[in-house]
Structure 1
Amino acid sequence: MSWEDWARHDALALAARVRAGEVTPAELAAQAAAAIARTNPDLSAVVEVFEDVVADPLRDGADPAGPFAGVPYLMKDLSVPLKGRLQEMGSLLMRGNRSAADSYLAGRIRQAGLAILGRTTTPEFGCCSAADNPAVYSTRNPWNTAHVTNGSSAGSGAMVAAGAVPMAHATDGGGSIRIPAGACGLIGLKVSRGVFSTAPATSDLTGLVSIQGCHSRTVRDTAAFVDACRGGAPGEFMPFWTPAEPCSRLIERDPPKLRIALSHEWGDYRATPHFVAALEKAGRLLESLGHHVEWVLPAVDFRAAFAAQTLCYISNFAQTISATLAMKGLDRPPEGLIEPINIRIWEAGIGTTYSERYRMQAAFNATSRAFGAFFEDWDIILTPVTALPTPPAGTTEFLTISDNPDVLDWFGNLWRQFPYTPLANLCGIPAISMPMAMQENGIPLGIQAVAKQADDGLLLQLAAQVERALGGAWNEGRRPAVHVAA
């Protein structure tokens, strides 16, 4: 098909053409590979294309009877191992690392009919605001290649935005689905706890804040992904839940009148005036759709919440780094092979005590209860996805190649940039980024909607209502500068 045709099809539209006999999975895979070759030189977003899967997209178990019928898909190079494939996690230390077995979610993705064609970029171990280390790769934003995509699902966001593939894998430990979705003009849903399995390595309780998901260009693709890939592996450490109605059916009708709270003053953090104006405009649109919209701030101890979140990241990432060191037979992170901030995170977090984690979890509980009380009166909290503009490439203060000697100060820089996404991870509640606005630098600005535990479907329903109201023209109907159809 023409590049224009390719770009206007979402994943479900391509799957429908496969089922109608108009195109084969092999033809889709070949066109996706060509699209990657067409856009990746400008974006540095794909680490590897699996040529054997391009040749035979069903070879690894993609089920053509699944809802996505052999549609091409890219996997973030982190968190979801693929048997026999490299998984290098954005790290020089992990070069050549191959996975011994598939993760449970990889199997679910293939059962859904998605053909995993390759790996996308991520910052080292996913701990960073962008995949921007020249020694590894520097992923650029297709809307403005002088800027990053944000992170950590950096390459996935760039490839879906550029039209190379309709969907790609993403993960979110503090916003890493929503933040790059926001900067790339995509739909990015962070689900509640108990939706996607992280077996066999962790669970939603042992991982605490990390969630799996996808980037897409349409609400229905994300809804279908949730319906097809959700569910726990045998022996999960926590309950998994199933909604009363599949998301794909729920989004066909508008939500009831919702009570929507606009908010951007989160503790010590504020959005720029331009972002506040964009949030107000989004609120007016939702008001025009019949919802009640008002400026209201949740009664949350934001300082305590961010302090607890910081300790969680430092101690969690320290353990992640420790596990990789053990794989290599090393006692401590080697300089030159692990980035400076990650070394400092390991040093700061490896000795975290149970008592410190207990106090952290008490703050998690208090924060979650405060949001829970707020959602007794309000259905949705609406915020910008980020507080500050997407940084230019090479802005090291947000990167793990930073020379900042103070880990807490480095995390403070992250929170000033990205204050609105992490607390949903802390609480285990769902949140979605919708491409409803633009930054002054020409890069999209996502508007985030947050809801109570298990209201994932309501967020998708609201996003679908907005999508219909906009006539499908997210991002003000614009396309990125780097695009397959450009």
Structure 2
Amino acid sequence: MKLVMDWNEWSDLDAMGIAELVRNGEITPREVAQQVSAGVEALNPEINSVIEIFDDVVKDPLKDGMDPEGVFAGVPFLMKDLSSTVKGRLQEMGSLMMKGNRATADSFLTKQIRNAGLNIIGRTTTPEFGLCSSAENPDVYITRNPWNLDYTTCGSSAGTAASVAAGIIPISHATDGGGSIRIPAGVNGNIGLKPSRGVFSAAPNSSDLMNVVSAQGCHTRTIRDTAAFVDNCRGGAPGEFMPYWKPSESYTEQIRRDPKKLRIAVSHEWGDYRATPHIVAELERAAHFLEGLGHHVEWVVPDVNLHAAYEAQTSAYIMKFAQTISNILEQKGLERPPADLIEPMCIRVFEEGRFASYAERARMQGVFNKTSRELATFFEDWDIILTPVMASPTPLLGTKEYLTISDNPSVYNWFENLWGIFAYTSIANLCGLPGISLPMAEMENGMPFGIHALARQGDDGLLLQLGAQIERALDGKWNHGRKPAVHVSEI
């Protein structure tokens, strides 16, 4: 099959750039879908990021209801195999237990994605139920980092991160319950925004009330793609418990201007956790860069009881995932998770959380409330908090202490291991704040590393505006202009 463009040209375009070519009649949605399909075929044997391509929608991009008049004009899109459902398609959630599970309807966000002109052509890998930090159960699949195949992509938006980084697709779906958009974006060299609470709907099967820590979003390679995705896919479905809001100005317009001089607090000291010396040096370099853009930058430790926050979030995740597994067991007429179909740590989480009381949930919510108030008070003096995206380097594949195939007998010790490396992102989920990972730094081994920025609730546009200012200052050269070892330009 002859492709519509060569791979260097393809990988230099973002989603909005491809959409412009489609609108100008230079290429068609079918041709660009075929390009992505060819990229998956070429690279998936190495990185294992895509579970399935929907060949019928590649052939006929209008088949499932994509609106070609939407802003993305038929640009291909991959869905993470978790959360938002796609009518008639498998959603197996990274679990042997869910093999053959097929969605009966589009979720609300899926409809918004189609209305925005994105053509959903396949699904990407995720760890079981999105609980852990890497999609690597050998009985399901192992997703590899395209920068170095010996390393994880982190997670839980694993396949999306690898697919975007490898140049296969410019934009792909992601979700974030504690950093699952931002962490894999950071270690794969992508842009990953976790939006504020009240931006993307979880309807109809969930809500912000039921699933308070989780958010949806995407990975991209440019700020304008992320801005366009949020502008065109946001909004609440009928019957939302929480208020859904829109800014007075679209993010697409806002990012055209530099932000005002910002007050930026920089810290890697986060509760009991500290980053490694090299990561601190990279954070310091990023802070100097922002100072050079005219912002006020100061090293400050937020006055927040982060120890209490981690304990509350551990409780939240145990209760949330125990309920997720309980619901699946009920649907299947089972009382307990089959040990051969559900991973060991997921079973332990189920056991720990299935009998949690309302009193335990109320205590958790009390800490959430107190933490949110403390951080909001901090944001009265600061516009941005700048941290690393992780406290330690990207783990090698097979680092079982972070995986749900871990044999750690203690659920709480397992979560403590997670907080030790993924220290900085989960506060945004607890408080409903926006957070973004920007590919500005790199590890000692040359792999990419994200610099993480947080803003007060509702200031998503400010994060994107700052990201756009940085992008312009870098002349668009995120990751110092480098590409991964496994990349479509090498096909």
Matching of residue 331 in structure 1 with residue 331 in structure 2: no
- Helix, strand or coil for the counterpart of 1:485? helix
Shift of 1:270: 0.6
TM-score where L is the length of structure 2? 0.99
Match for 2:398 among 394, 397, 400? 394
Q: Which residue of 1 aligns with 2:367?
A: 363
Match for 1:77 among 48, 60, 81? 81
Which structure 2 residue ranges, 5 or more long, are not aligned? none
Shift of 1:206: 1.3
Match for 2:377 among 373, 377, 381? 373
Matching of residue 430 in structure 1 with residue 408 in structure 2: no
Matching of residue 199 in structure 1 with residue 173 in structure 2: no
* Aligned equivalents of 2:136, 2:282: Cα separation in 1: 28
Q: Which residue of 1 aligns with 2:103?
A: 99
Q: Is the 8 A contact 1:164 1:484 kept in 2?
A: yes
Shift of 1:83: 0.8
- Helix, strand or coil for the counterpart of 1:242? coil
* Aligned equivalents of 2:81, 2:266: Cα separation in 1: 35
Match for 2:291 among 276, 287, 290? 287
Matching of residue 264 in structure 1 with residue 268 in structure 2: yes
> What residue identity is the alignment partner of 1:170?
A
Matching of residue 414 in structure 1 with residue 418 in structure 2: yes
**Number of aligned residue pairs:** 486
Match for 1:482 among 459, 463, 486? 486
* Aligned equivalents of 2:206, 2:307: Cα separation in 1: 28
Which structure 1 residue ranges, 5 or more long, are not aligned? none
* Aligned equivalents of 1:478, 1:66: Cα separation in 2: 32
Q: Is the 8 A contact 1:131 1:150 kept in 2?
A: yes
1:204-215 maps to which residues of 2 (within 5 A)?
A: 204-215=208-219
Match for 2:150 among 146, 165, 173? 146
Match for 2:304 among 300, 305, 326? 300
Deviations 1:268-322 (A, max 9, x none): 1110000000000000000000000000011001110000000000000000111
Match for 1:136 among 120, 137, 140? 140
Deviates more, 1:433-442 or 1:256-265: 433-442
Deviations 1:161-203 (A, max 9, x none): 0000000000000000000000110110000000000000111
Q: Is the 8 A contact 1:127 1:152 kept in 2?
A: yes
Shift of 1:442: 2.2
- Helix, strand or coil for the counterpart of 1:118? strand
Deviating 4+ runs (over 2 angstroms) = none
Match for 2:168 among 123, 141, 164? 164
- Helix, strand or coil for the counterpart of 2:184? helix
* Aligned equivalents of 1:415, 1:123: Cα separation in 2: 17
Shift of 1:465: 0.2
- Helix, strand or coil for the counterpart of 2:99? coil
Q: Which residue of 2 aligns with 1:245?
A: 249
Match for 2:114 among 110, 115, 120? 110
* Aligned equivalents of 1:302, 1:392: Cα separation in 2: 28
Match for 2:129 among 125, 129, 132? 125
> What residue identity is the alignment partner of 1:34?
A
> What residue identity is the alignment partner of 2:202?
T
Q: Which residue of 1 aligns with 2:468?
A: 464
- Helix, strand or coil for the counterpart of 2:489? coil
Shift of 1:443: 1.6
Shift of 1:441: 2.4
- Helix, strand or coil for the counterpart of 1:107? helix
* Aligned equivalents of 1:482, 1:326: Cα separation in 2: 42
Matching of residue 24 in structure 1 with residue 59 in structure 2: no
> What residue identity is the alignment partner of 2:323?
Q
Q: Is the 8 A contact 1:227 1:247 kept in 2?
A: yes
* Aligned equivalents of 1:461, 1:118: Cα separation in 2: 31
- Helix, strand or coil for the counterpart of 1:323? helix
Q: Which residue of 2 aligns with 1:46?
A: 50
Shift of 1:265: 0.6
* Aligned equivalents of 2:95, 2:330: Cα separation in 1: 15
Q: Is the 8 A contact 1:144 1:442 kept in 2?
A: no
* Aligned equivalents of 1:186, 1:90: Cα separation in 2: 22
* Aligned equivalents of 2:97, 2:209: Cα separation in 1: 28
- Helix, strand or coil for the counterpart of 1:442? coil
Shift of 1:355: 0.4
1:218-237 maps to which residues of 2 (within 5 A)?
A: 218-237=222-241
Matching of residue 34 in structure 1 with residue 33 in structure 2: no
* Aligned equivalents of 2:288, 2:465: Cα separation in 1: 18
* Aligned equivalents of 2:361, 2:67: Cα separation in 1: 42
* Aligned equivalents of 1:371, 1:239: Cα separation in 2: 21
Shift of 1:79: 0.3
> What residue identity is the alignment partner of 1:148?
T
